């Protein structure tokens, strides 16, 4: 079974693989292979055919189209509309029946990866699984204060086990390196040295140094604390100073808006509006837009109640996933099976990257209806935990079966019996 999606992208975009981010763009994207102009208007995700993942579970057409990407400086009211679009005001507990029905219909198109776990295994059969995890909203629940988004000990234990069985990386908007003493890095939240980390939405990668088919991958080789060679790759390294500058400007502007919070995530500055009254959102957006006007080489993307300013380069979580697979030595292999789990707009680039591959699984974490390039879903981090545990259990079963067959063969050999003959 192939885990691939076929989506129609509208808004004048021919090749979704060329998107740089899911978000607003301010200015143009420079690409070495283009004339520097990368013009498109609105990237919407819509479905024209059912995703083939977990085929047979049925399909209900979802007519709604939600813009994922607003391009050009646009009017600030467009920004505001998108801020509201991506911030469903109600929680599931307070949703009315009609919404539940809509959600159930949606689940037919994006079936639960947990309820269909056997099908997941079937699809992954004989392939090498790589696990990619987003952090906020995937491993940790969304909370009011970004500094308190801790993952549970159970989740940490499950991720640790996953990493002992599959190459595993965290791809997050958070900072990988310490930028400010009082801001926690993603590593300080996860605390697992056995993982690889890509911070700043994939723009700050610490990955394995194996390379693909003997070819060296881009990046600087360094030794980690365990003495292993790793590779560091920062495609936006020349933006370090400008990001420091923009952080200061945005922090100053945001201080005028009650509840706004600005986070320095190294190659991305996040302006949080979760604790800002809705009537002040426009005010905040205006401030951000005003600052950005003087920085045509930066762009704005959007996450869960957060506006994120980042370098305008052709790099995103999807590119980071591709880079890491290459770094693991599996860039061009057809037997790789990446599993990517994420909850946010910025994860859509990674979902697209998985969809472009022959095999793999893109899982959206959501308990509300969302347009997405993922092929299946999990409701919330507690289901992510269950899914990871199932994966661990299954892999352990496979390994012990292997071990059992291996030891049987040794016994057969010792007894001088043919390998396929039963021992009497």
Q: How far is the CB of 198 from ligand L263DTV3 (least distance, A)?
A: 10
Binding of ligand L263DTV3 by 177 (CB under 6 A): no
Sign of CA dihedral 145, 339, 13, 63: negative
Separation between Cα atoms, residue 269 and residue 173, nearest integer Å: 9
Binding of ligand L263DTV3 by 270 (CB under 6 A): yes
User: Site size for ligand L263DTV3, by CB under 6 A?
Assistant: 24
| End-to-end Cα separation, the chain, in angstroms | 40
Separation between Cα atoms, residue 346 and residue 31, nearest integer Å: 20
Q: How far is the CB of 270 from ligand L263DTV3 (least distance, A)?
A: 4
**Which residue in 13, 71, 149, 230 binds ligand L263DTV3 (CB under 6 A)?**
149
SS3 414: helix
Query: Which of 113/269 has CB closer to ligand L263DTV3?
Result: 269
C-alpha distances out from residue 184 to 136, 161, 191, 196, 266, Å: 13, 24, 11, 17, 12
Query: Which of 304/333 has CB closer to ligand L263DTV3?
Result: 304
Binding of ligand L263DTV3 by 265 (CB under 6 A): yes
φ, ψ dihedrals at 172, nearest 5°: -135, 160
Separation between Cα atoms, residue 359 and residue 335, nearest integer Å: 8
Separation between Cα atoms, residue 16 and residue 88, nearest integer Å: 26
| 290-309 binders of ligand L263DTV3 (CB under 6 A) | 303-306, 308
Secondary structure (DSSP) of 29-45: -B-TTSSS-----EEEE
Binding of ligand L263DTV3 by 23 (CB under 6 A): no
Binding of ligand L263DTV3 by 333 (CB under 6 A): no
- Spell out, one character per residue from 123 to 142, where the chain touches ligand L263DTV3: x when CB under 6 A holds, - when not: -----------xxxx----x
Separation between Cα atoms, residue 31 and residue 313, nearest integer Å: 8
Q: How much helix, strand and coil, in percent to the nearest 5, is found in the chain?
A: 35, 20, 45
Ranked by CB distance to ligand L263DTV3, the top (closest) residue is 173
Binding of ligand L263DTV3 by 173 (CB under 6 A): yes
Yes or no: say if 321 and 328 are a contact pair by the CB < 8 Å rule.
Answer: no
Query: Which of 62/203 has CB closer to ligand L263DTV3?
Result: 203
φ, ψ dihedrals at 142, nearest 5°: -70, 125
Binding of ligand L263DTV3 by 174 (CB under 6 A): yes
Separation between Cα atoms, residue 350 and residue 52, nearest integer Å: 18
Separation between Cα atoms, residue 149 and residue 169, nearest integer Å: 19
**Which residue in 51, 74, 146, 329 binds ligand L263DTV3 (CB under 6 A)?**
146
Binding of ligand L263DTV3 by 223 (CB under 6 A): no
Q: How far is the CB of 303 from ligand L263DTV3 (least distance, A)?
A: 5
- The stretch near ligand L263DTV3 (CB under 6 A) out of 106-114, 144-152, 218-226, 369-377 is 144-152
**Which residue in 70, 272, 319, 359 binds ligand L263DTV3 (CB under 6 A)?**
272
C-alpha distances out from residue 235 to 224, 240, 242, 297, Å: 20, 11, 14, 14
- The stretch near ligand L263DTV3 (CB under 6 A) out of 63-71, 168-176, 278-286, 390-398 is 168-176
Query: Which of 124/151 has CB closer to ligand L263DTV3?
Result: 151
How many residues can be counted in the chain?
424
**Which residue in 2, 143, 222, 399 binds ligand L263DTV3 (CB under 6 A)?**
143
Query: Which of 343/371 has CB closer to ligand L263DTV3?
Result: 343
Q: How far is the CB of 27 from ligand L263DTV3 (least distance, A)?
A: 21
Give the angle subtended at the CA of 109 by the CAs of 108 and 110, to the nearest 5°: 95
Query: Which of 129/306 has CB closer to ligand L263DTV3?
Result: 306
Could you list the residues that contact ligand L263DTV3 (CB under 6 A)? 134-137, 142-144, 146, 149, 172-174, 263, 265, 270, 272, 274, 303-306, 308, 344, 346
């Amino acid at each position: 079974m192939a885990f691939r999606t076929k989506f129609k992208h509208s808004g004048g975009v021919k090749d979704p693989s060329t998107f740089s981010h899911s978000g607003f763009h301010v200015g143009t994207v420079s690409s070495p292979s283009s004339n520097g102009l990368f013009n498109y208007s609105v990237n919407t995700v819509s479905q024209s055919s059912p995703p083939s993942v977990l085929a047979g579970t049925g399909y209900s057409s979802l007519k709604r189209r939600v813009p994922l990407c607003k391009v050009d400086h646009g009017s600030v009211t467009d920004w505001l509309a998108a801020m509201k679009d991506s911030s469903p005001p109600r929680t599931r507990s307070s949703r009315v029946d009609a919404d539940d029905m809509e959600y159930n219909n949606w689940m037919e198109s994006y079936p639960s990866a947990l309820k269909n776990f056997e099908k997941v295994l079937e699809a992954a059969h004989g392939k090498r699984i790589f696990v990619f995890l987003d952090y906020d909203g995937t491993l940790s629940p969304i909370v009011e204060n970004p500094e308190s988004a801790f993952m549970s000990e159970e989740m940490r234990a499950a991720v640790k086990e996953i990493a002992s069985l599959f190459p595993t990386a965290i791809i997050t908007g958070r900072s990988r390196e310490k930028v400010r003493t009082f801001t926690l890095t993603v590593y300080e939240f996860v605390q697992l040295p056995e993982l690889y980390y890509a911070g700043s939405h994939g723009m700050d990668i610490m990955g394995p140094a194996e390379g693909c088919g003997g070819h060296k991958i881009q990046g600087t080789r360094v030794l980690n604390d365990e003495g292993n060679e790793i590779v560091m790759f920062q495609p936006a390294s020349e933006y370090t100073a400008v990001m420091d500058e923009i952080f200061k400007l945005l922090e100053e502007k945001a201080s005028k808006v009650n509840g706004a919070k600005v986070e320095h995530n190294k190659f991305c500055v996040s302006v949080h509006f979760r604790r800002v009254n809705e009537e002040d959102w426009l005010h905040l957006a205006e401030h951000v837009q005003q600052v950005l006007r003087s920085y045509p080489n930066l762009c704005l993307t959007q996450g869960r109640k957060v506006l994120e300013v980042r370098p305008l380069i052709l790099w995103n979580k999807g590119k980071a996933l591709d880079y890491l697979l290459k770094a693991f030595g599996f860039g061009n292999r057809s037997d790789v099976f990446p599993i990517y789990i994420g909850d946010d707009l910025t994860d859509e680039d990674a979902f697209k990257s998985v969809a472009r591959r022959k095999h793999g699984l893109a899982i959206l974490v959501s308990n509300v209806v969302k347009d997405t390039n993922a092929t299946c879903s999990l409701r919330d981090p507690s289901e992510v935990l269950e899914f990871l545990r199932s994966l661990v259990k299954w892999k352990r079963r496979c390994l012990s079966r292997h071990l059992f067959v291996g030891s049987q063969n040794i016994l057969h050999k010792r007894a001088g019996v043919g390998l396929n003959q039963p021992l009497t």
